[in-house]
Chain A
Amino acid sequence: MKRLLLAACAALLCVVVPAAAQQQGVTADTITIGAHGPITGPAAYIGLAGRDGMLLAIKEINAAGGVNGRKIMAVFEDDGHSPTKALAAVKKLVEQDKVFAVMSVGGSNATVGAVDYMKEKGVPYYVSIASAPQVTWPFARNLFRGGTTETARYGELYAEFLTTHYKAKRIAIMSGREEYPRNEGDATTDKLKNWFQMAPVVRVEFNIGDKDFTPQLVEVQKANPDVIAFFGNPAEAAIAMRQAKELGLKQPFFVGSNMVDPALITAAKSSAEGVTGFSLIPYLPGSKAPAMVKWQAAWKKEYPSAPAGRPNNFDLLAYGDMYVLAEGMKRAGRNLTTDGLIHALEGIHDYRVGPVATPRTFSTRHHIGNLALVPMMVKDGQWEPVQWKSTRESDILQRYH
């Protein structure tokens, strides 16, 4: 038995891997970038896409000569959508793989698990997809948010759109009980109150994974809204929209930005027609716009055996953000340091790799890369941009002085 106990200690020590030699992630001919995201578990469609989009960008950049004569090498770790695992992932990346910078294509809770550690270490941490507020507030020099915008911004745009595009006076909100949908619902309610002195006529919640929305829809129907704002996941939206039709609800649906995705149309089919929402990217996969067609062809060439539903929005977000990070590294020059990268990123203004991405702007005051969203509507089974522009300035940057 005592030998077994010692064997157990040995097993424990097996989790230990000898530390690598001293490096800061930059050698004469390579820059090593770390990344984490969920590639196992129910959120795998986010992490796998984030990884693939990022790696595609890196491949293109390296093929075009790299960054100031150096090739980019990426190490990707699974975070399983869990803060415990995300922390393990970034510790490994920073301490064992000795990466120069870390990109997060993970969800909010996982990223929050890693944020304190990354702040402590000072390694540049570029968050592409997670929308947790902790990334940009309180301000930390080495943290940047790329593709996803601030939750409050969603509220601002949604509230304005619902009141001006739909000219709605009665707005119903259905939101799921998870961080992202709840934040969207809260932010929208908040801005409806502060900007338009309006309250939603009804706010109902549902659980992520619910398969039946009859109770909630019945309540919504009673309140007789002009438009129904739905914040959840594509699978739930599809069921809810179908059931709404069955119950005789005629109101149009407005969905949160994570549902502005071809997946919604695949799941909801004809019930999705006429649905609107805001997108983080100018064109969705499947769009006929020439820039998207070209990009998708390049993607399919790189990943010929990917399952249906790919590429998705996360491929594009990570792709665009990787280019932003690379641009920062390029502008920092051949003598590449952490400070140099941060300084270069803060100088980026309205940069994007091409029409398939939205522009990023950072400054020394704030590291919120994206405040612009693109309004879209489902027309003939395809998400197409809608002619609408916001006329109100965002309140968000006011607190960064």
Chain B
Amino acid sequence: MRARSPTIVLIIAVILLGAAAATMSSYPVYLMSLAMINIVAAIGLNLLTGNSGQISLCHSSFMAIGAYASTLLTAKLGVPFWASIPIGAVLAASTGALLGAPASRLRGIYLALATLGFLQIVQIAIEELANVTGGVRGLGVPKAVLNGAVLGDYARFLIVLGCCALAIWTARNLLASRVGRELNAVRLSPHATQALGISVHRVRLAAFALAAGYAGIAGGLQAIVVGFIDPVEFGVSASLRQITFIVVGGMGSVTGSVVGAAVLSALPEALRPVKEYSDLIYTSILLAFLIFLPNGLVTLWQIVVRRLRHSDTLTTIAVRP
């Protein structure tokens, strides 16, 4: 029931954006590609944190695994990007499952610290295995090639657009299905879930793997769009930024991921005129969001809608079902 009209909206959006981008220079196209990469990452994180209720500070590490894996596959083994990126994502998802096995037994700050520890371990591994990863000097990414032709900015934008749309579509369907219900169930009432015979641990572990898979795709895409990766791009700041996407957008919903990532990707660009104060102002705006809209921008929409409708019937727009 829910899948129909949003899919049409998605297709319309894809066509509109694709057409609009054809007329623009590479600067805005590049920015939009980066924003959509952020959306894909945010979707993954939201499944893990918003739906299954597990905080993760190492989401960017899975992006790193996806980025480095796909880059190295292309650079060393000549695997084309359309294969190396999915392979990188599978690798990331496997690592996610590996981390999830012990980590999903932890709660609250202990889980936060465990994921933080994992992030540091990945950072150090990237930096120390410099012969393979380029270490802190970073790694140049081979240009994405299709049928012998190097893909330009617009072509890569279309690829990112397609992947982003796919990510939105799959996540929505996932959440509407039994998997989605299980994810939310383990967050809302783990005891009841366990009592129903569903292995809470298995669901949580699956959430880790899923989130890591999305992150892996995002990482691989970032590598081909930017053309250069270094470990700092996937450090603590990146993880925290992704958390802000879902907190500001709205946790537990795909729309929240999209809105949060889009808005917070646009914000630094809007803050360019403020030059060296942009970080400070960005953080202040973030804090303001946290204080006044703690449940995310999607709730803003609901407040507006509710006021406009003024009806007696309960509007059952559940953000976190």
A residues sitting closer than 8 Å to B (CB atoms) are 1-9, 11-17, 19, 39-41, 44, 48, 76-78, 81-84, 87-88, 91-92, 94-96, 108-109, 112-113, 116, 177-179, 182
Any A CB within 8 A of the CB of B71: no
Binary interface profile of B, 205-244, with partner A (CB < 8 Å = 1, else 0)? Answer: 0000000000000000010001111101100000000000
Grouping DSSP codes into helix (H, G, I), strand (E, B) and loop, the B interface class, with mixed when no group exceeds half, is: helix
State which residues 74-108 of B face A: CB under 8 Å.
none
The reply to whether A15 and B31 contact each other, CB–CB distance below 8 Å, is yes
A82 touches B233 (CB 8 A): yes
B308: shortest Cβ distance to chain A, in Å?
12
* Measured CA separation A41–B283 after assembly (Å): 13
Q: Which chain A positions have C-beta within 8 A of B272?
A: 77-78, 92
> What total count of A-B pairs have CB within 8 Å?
133
A-binding residues in B (CB < 8 A): 5-6, 9-10, 13, 16-17, 20, 24-28, 30-32, 34-36, 127, 135-138, 140, 222, 226-230, 232-233, 255, 258-259, 262-263, 265-266, 269-270, 272, 275-276, 278-279, 298, 301, 317
Give 30 pairs: A residue, B residue, CB < 8 Å, sorted on A. A1-B255, A4-B255, A4-B298, A5-B6, A5-B9, A6-B13, A7-B301, A11-B262, A11-B263, A15-B32, A19-B24, A40-B276, A40-B279, A41-B279, A48-B276, A78-B275, A78-B276, A84-B34, A84-B222, A87-B226, A87-B227, A88-B27, A92-B27, A92-B272, A109-B232, A112-B228, A177-B136, A179-B138, A182-B135, A182-B137
What residue of chain B has the Cβ atom nearest to residue A90's Cβ?
A: B27
A14 to B262, CA, bound (A): 9
Known: A9-B13, A11-B263, A87-B30. A44 touches B276 (CB 8 A): yes
Known A-B contacts: A4-B255, A12-B262, A88-B31. Give 10 more (CB < 8 A).
A2-B6, A2-B9, A13-B32, A77-B272, A78-B278, A91-B26, A92-B27, A96-B25, A116-B228, A177-B136
A76 to B272 alpha-carbon distance, docked (Å): 10
Q: Give the chain B neighbours of A2 by CB distance below 8 A.
A: 5-6, 9
- With a CB–CB cut-off of 8 A, which chain B residues contact A96? 25, 27
Distance in Å: Cβ of A183 to nearest Cβ of chain B:
8
Q: Which of A48, A83, A84 has the most CB of B within 10 A?
A: A84
Counting chain B CB atoms within 10 Å of each CB, the highest count among A9, A44, A81, A96 belongs to: A9
Does A8 lie within 8 Å of B233, measured CB to CB?
Answer: no
Nearest A residue to B8 via CB reads A2
Do residues B138 and A109 form an inter-chain contact, with CB atoms below 8 A?
A: yes
- Given A5-B6, A14-B266, A19-B24; A82-B232 close (CB under 8 Å): yes
CB distance from A130 to the nearest CB of B (A): 12
Question: Can you name the residue of chain A whose Cβ is closest to the Cβ of B140?
Answer: A112
Contact B266 A113 (CB under 8 A): no
Task: List, in ascending order, chain A residues with CB within 8 A of B222's CB.
Answer: 84
CA–CA, A4 and B13, complex, Å: 12
- For the complex, give the distance between the alpha carbons of A96 and B269 in Å: 13
B32→A83 contact, CB < 8 A: no
Q: How far is the CA of A179 from the CA of B139 in the complex (A)?
A: 12
Known: A1-B255, A2-B5, A11-B259. A83 touches B230 (CB 8 A): yes
A113 & B276 in contact (Cβ 8 Å cutoff)? no
Q: How far is it, in angstroms, between the C-alpha of A309 and the C-alpha of B16 when the chains are bound?
A: 51
A83 engages B138 (CB within 8 Å)? yes
Give, as a whole number of angstroms, the nearest-CB distance from B218 to chain A: 13
Q: Which residues of A contact B5 (CB under 8 A)?
A: 2
Q: In the assembly, what is the distance between CA of A1 and CA of B138, in Å?
A: 41
Q: Give A182 to B135 CA distance when docked, in angstroms.
A: 11
B26 close to A179 (CB less than 8 A): no
Q: Which residue of B lies closest to A108 (CB)?
A: B137
Residues of A within 8 A of B13 (CB): 5-6, 9
Given A2-B9, A9-B17, A88-B31, answer yes or no on A109-B230 (Cβ-Cβ < 8 Å).
Answer: yes
Q: Which residues of B contact A15 (CB under 8 A)?
A: 28, 31-32, 35, 265-266, 269
